[in-house]
A and B are shown apart, each in its own frame.
Chain A
């Protein structure tokens, strides 16, 4: 405000005070600022449009060449003449790693949220909460490197032989946990993904758990409910939509995660029933092949990117709609 006063001093010193001039200057400034902000806001829509347009343009040659067969062809032979490209391997890898990651991350993430909101002593709440949130801050290439050098060898020498031995000879499960153990595998990638998306599930669950009116919880405790019963019958039913929104947000992240997965999944386009075998995901395939690709191969990779974008778009849109529904409920 002080500089406003200074400005008007300057105006008076410059000559007789011209009210009309000052007002029109204000009006012009107002209008310029309004349009700058409006155009910036619209640029968000332009970016989305640009992404979709550039992906479709880039993927067009591959779409024309392979059509819908792209989706269910497993063979990926970009150096064949003409190149044979099928997306089934990466699509399978993307879905399977995300599903396993969510199977691990959902119970653990919600468990941490329950711990932070119901069980944790007040003093520890902030430090533990921050530690979990910092997991989301670690760049994904660091996860990849760590998985490559530390986690992969560890799992291949301990956890994987153990699981393979237990399920040997069991129908179905025996094939899922089939050997040999490997440093690079779908399961390793899924475990790293689970750690990476954990903070998203925890953060949103903690936020929505806090919206439960204390009266509801107190009533349940007053009737003699245990902590677990309060969580199961009061907290989770009240916040279900929000928790599902958080899970879908985490799923959206897991589907598109690139660098961490590229390092540890092994980049094999063959589909294997064992989760300890190497595989690939859409984003890993793009990251490892795009720089050296050209022509139809490159177009095929962009088509993979388009598929990934459509998939994550719907998952994330679903997540937002769920969270918006909860906000409306909280607003009432």
Chain B
């Protein structure tokens, strides 16, 4: 065989093997992390976890009730504030401002906010909310999450609305429907599963966020529903428990980590299935 041909084949085989190796490398990490979580977290997964509050130092009786409730409350408020804002803003970019100079500026800034470090968002809310309110509060934590939700929802909303075929809008306009109703009744309906995907992805993104809560909502050892006070939440509780010397706290941290990870992955997969259904239609 021609030596040039041989060496070309050899380098091709080497590179192919390296690519397969790279894919294995990536998938292995995911498997390793999930297996460790299951191995360490399943043991502590009991009814107690959902019925009792976080234990005081040294105690071996307790669960994560206050942290789970706090996380759910702050995530819901954060998405409740951020999702409509993102949705309307995305609507403006896709429906009204298509040829507006402002639109490209907003899209550019939004894409940067989408990947901005979440700890910076925490610093921003600390300066803008915590300092004026003179204290850490659940509402500050929720607002920090909302700031993270907005760019995610805005981006998907704009993308999804741009996929809606224009003839649909033209047909509705030709029937005399005003612009706002064309958007609300036709475009939103046509893009519905895409819009829900965006909100699910945003929820998944903030459900595990820790950095922006560290100095906005702080955490709380007790059960509290008061939005103006500090509130327990899963990520910060895990953060505090991992670094503690108590074995039982570490066990709880693993169980909490298992809960968060599988919630977030379930939301991600749910969003993907919804998106795939849309593509299949």
Contact = CB atoms under 8 A, between A and B. Distances in A.
Interface of A: 1, 4, 26-27, 29-30, 32-34, 36-38, 40-45, 47-48, 50-51, 54-55, 57-58, 107-109, 111-112, 114-116, 118-120, 128, 130-135, 137-146, 148-150, 195, 198-199, 202, 226-229, 231, 249, 252-253, 255-259, 263, 283, 286-287, 290-291, 302, 305, 308-309, 312-313, 316-317, 320
Contacts of B27: 128, 131-132
Nearest to A110: B22
A120 B22 CA distance: 12
Nearest to B114: A316
A144 to B, nearest CB: 8
Contacts of B208: 138-142
A227 B15 CA distance: 9
Interface string B187-224: 00000000000000000100111110011001000000
A111 B127 contact: no
Interface of B: 8-9, 11-12, 15-16, 18-23, 25-27, 29-30, 32-33, 36-37, 40, 84-89, 91-93, 95-97, 102-103, 105-106, 108-113, 115-121, 123-124, 126-128, 147, 150-151, 154, 177-181, 183-185, 204, 207-211, 214-215, 218, 235, 238-239, 242, 253-254, 257, 260-261, 264-265, 268-269, 272
B33 A111 contact: no
11 contacts: A40-B89, A44-B109, A50-B124, A115-B19, A138-B264, A141-B260, A258-B119, A258-B210, A259-B210, A286-B123, A305-B119
A58 B129 CA distance: 13
B92 A41 contact: yes
A47 B92 contact: no
B8 A229 contact: yes
Given A54-B123, A142-B33, A290 B210 contact: no
Contacts of B15: 227-228, 231
A111 B22 contact: yes
Contacts of A108: 22, 25-26
Contact of B112 (A109, A138, A258, A320): A320
A309 to B, nearest CB: 5
B22 A115 contact: yes
Contacts of B185: 1, 4
B43 to A, nearest CB: 14
B119 A287 contact: yes
Contacts of A137: 204, 264-265, 268
Contacts of B29: 135, 195
B115 A252 contact: yes
A54 B26 contact: no
B19 A316 contact: no
A196 to B, nearest CB: 10
What 3 A-B pairs come out closest when comparing CB atoms?
Answer: A139-B208, A256-B117, A111-B22
Contacts of A302: 123, 127
A78 to B, nearest CB: 16
A46 B243 CA distance: 37
B115 A30 contact: no
Contacts of B235: 139, 141, 259
Contact of A111 (B23, B30, B84, B214): B23
A76 to B, nearest CB: 18
Contact of A141 (B102, B147, B210): B210
Given A137-B268, A290-B123, 20 more contacts: A36-B88, A43-B85, A47-B113, A47-B147, A57-B127, A108-B25, A112-B23, A137-B204, A138-B30, A139-B260, A141-B208, A143-B33, A144-B242, A145-B238, A145-B254, A256-B118, A258-B117, A258-B118, A258-B210, A316-B115
